[in-house]
Amino acid sequence: MRLYKEYICSAALNAGFIRARVLSPFNFDASRYPQYAGGEKSILVCALPYGNQHQENCLPPEAGGCPAAIAPFARFNYYREAVRRMKRIASLVRLRYGGEKCSFRILCNSSAPEKHIAAASGLGAFSRNGLIISPEAGSLFVIAAMTLPVTLESDPPLAGAGDAHFPLCVDCGEKPPCAAACPTGAVLGNGFIDRARCVQWYASGHGSPELGLNGIPATVRAVWGTRLYGCTACQDACVHNKCPIQGVTTSEGRLPGFIDARELLRLSDSDIKSMFKGTAMGLSWLGPRSIRRNAEAVLEYQSLRTNSG
């Protein structure tokens, strides 16, 4: 089994994943995750970096319109890219060692507890802003995992990692940069985010109607900025994301850096669906209603700024 593990981990690294770990013994609790449970003995956990050296630098149009920004992590569909690469690894491993196709289940942006699996395997450690930080790619990566039908030697968590311990955050002091940078004070600094204040949480379609503008509170709209999708302030400020981190190259789900918010609001639901199909903004939980609401928040923010200026 040692050779099996060496083979699968080097296949993952060769495929562009920046870190590959194995968690074993591993099986899903069938009562909580019946869709994933069945025959797995170990799980391969990998980090696919999107980094901060972006494939394209996007500047807003110089004049006219109302440019609404798409964050770099969403300008390509890194989830889809990670799954594509995992499938290739599964084929290589099955070719060499056999195993039923259904034993190699791939999880990426799934409802499984991917962050907890990543932390338990030592892919990274929980940080004070609630994200997983890896030694090689900071928090600028997507997690992809694959169940395995064999029991491999397990990798340990990172040294010092635990439920309330953040081994990669030790130098950040009382008011860490991630918390200071958050426009709404949503980073609590204890590993949790106050979702009710998080721009990204609302940008992902959450909220309740009584909060105004279809569910986004005025305090959050006041700092919404030009974000059509993706608040990255807490990640941009993190000390682990400051050095150059190379991301993988992909052509999956390419989106522009900016879309005109007014133009977007003129589109029908089906136009919006086809515009974002196959992209990181085309996921089922982020429908036309949420995207339109984000565009409205950008327009409202711009008009508040114009009126106050």
Using omega within 30 degrees of 0 as the cis cutoff, is the peptide bond preceding 25 cis? yes
Size of the site for ligand SF4 (CB under 6 A): 25
Query: Does 238 interact with ligand SF4 (rule: CB under 6 A)?
Result: yes
Query: Does 168 interact with ligand SF4 (rule: CB under 6 A)?
Result: yes
9 or 234: CB nearest ligand SF4: 234
Q: How many residues does the chain have?
A: 309
Query: Does 240 interact with ligand SF4 (rule: CB under 6 A)?
Result: yes
Choosing from 231, 261, 291, 295, the residue that interacts with ligand SF4 (CB under 6 A) is 231
Choosing from 176, 253, 257, 282, the residue that interacts with ligand SF4 (CB under 6 A) is 176
Structure token pair of residue 190: 């204890």
| Min separation Cβ 172 and ligand SF4, Å | 3
Sign for the CA dihedral angle at 279, 282, 288, 289 comes to negative
| Min separation Cβ 105 and ligand SF4, Å | 30
42 or 241: CB nearest ligand SF4: 241
| Min separation Cβ 20 and ligand SF4, Å | 23
Query: Does 80 interact with ligand SF4 (rule: CB under 6 A)?
Result: no
CB 23 within 8 A of CB 145: no
Query: Does 298 interact with ligand SF4 (rule: CB under 6 A)?
Result: no
Structure token pair of residue 270: 């089906």
CB 89 within 8 A of CB 127: no
Choosing from 45, 47, 93, 169, the residue that interacts with ligand SF4 (CB under 6 A) is 169
Burial class (CB in 10 A: 0-12, 13-18, 19+), 7: middle
Beta bridge partners, 67, equal 260
108 or 198: CB nearest ligand SF4: 198
Please give, one letter per residue, the 3-state secondary structure of 3-55.
Answer: HHHHHHHHHHHHCCCCEEEEECCCCCCCCCCCCCCCCCCEEEEEEEECCCCCC
Residues in contact with ligand SF4 by the rule CB under 6 A = 127-129, 168-169, 172, 176-178, 182-184, 186-187, 193, 198-200, 231, 233-234, 237-240
